[in-house]
Amino acid sequence: MNSANKNSRNRRAVILLGTLAALVTALACSTKPNKQSMNSPVSSTATVKPMALSTVVPIVSEPSPQVGKPKRPDPVKSGNFVSRDYGVSFRYPWQYAFLNARAMSKGDASLKPRSDGHDGQFTLARVEIPQGFYPDSDFENGYFTLSLNEDLNEQECLQTLSPAKDAKLDTVSIQGQDFHWIETSSGGHGQTSTLRNYVSFENGTCYEIEMGVKTANQDGMARELNPELVLSRLDSILQTVKIVPATGQPDASVVENSAAAVSPADSRK
């Protein structure tokens, strides 16, 4: 009886000690940090709110406007001719060939304009369009000449035009100066020629301008060129012609052309 009671008390003591040991172990474990919670930056119960992104616009300071004169565009390069002795000037594209009075006097007769029928006529300048402007066409030449005759009076100057029956005498104002002019055409055997002659009387001088276009297409294989296209180029030179009365002075902005004469052949190289 006593031994049985003793064994029962021993079992209870062992159970009590085991229970106490389990409680101590549980308390010890609860005080240690959880490795999983240390390694995880966000707890399982935490909520992450999205952060609104804002765009940052860099501030660029605009340069302050410069105070001063506006920049002028570069002038178009061109050739200039002026005769201070006769008070006449004109401009022409720099790509065109230019011959001065000396070159004209020593050059071939085919380079000279149509004769006005008087001995006092002489040519101051000739400008030619290079053939390279119209490749593979029947274009032969296009030219602009400026001539003078001091031996004529105003009536004789006008009579040099001598229009044909089917030609009409017209008048045009160029730089404030009136010019009378006619147009004549001829052709045959694959060749054509279109001429426009202008005259104006000023400073006791008859100013004569001739614009001509010649084509040659004898074999009929070349592309036919409309003469009006060439005449429009020559007309751009005509519109710059300025005659200064004897009481005035030539335009100071026009620089006298003192360069050596350029032959048409050289201009096409």
Q: Centre a 10 Å sphere on the Cβ of residue 182 and count the other Cβ atoms it contains.
A: 17
The residue range of the domain holding 116 is: 78-259
Number of domains in the chain: 1
Residue 167 has pLDDT above 90, yes or no: no
pLDDT in tens, 208-254: 999 999 999 877 788 999 999 999 999 999 999 999 987 644 444 34
Per mean pLDDT, which range of 105-114, 170-179, 234-243, 257-266 is the poorest? 257-266
pLDDT in tens, 6-32: 566 666 666 666 666 666 565 555 555
CATH code of 253's domain: 3.40.1000.10
First-to-final CA distance of the chain:
145
In a domain, 171, yes or no: yes
In a domain, 181, yes or no: yes
Residues 6+ apart with CB under 8 A from 79: 91, 92, 93, 94, 96, 98, 127, 257
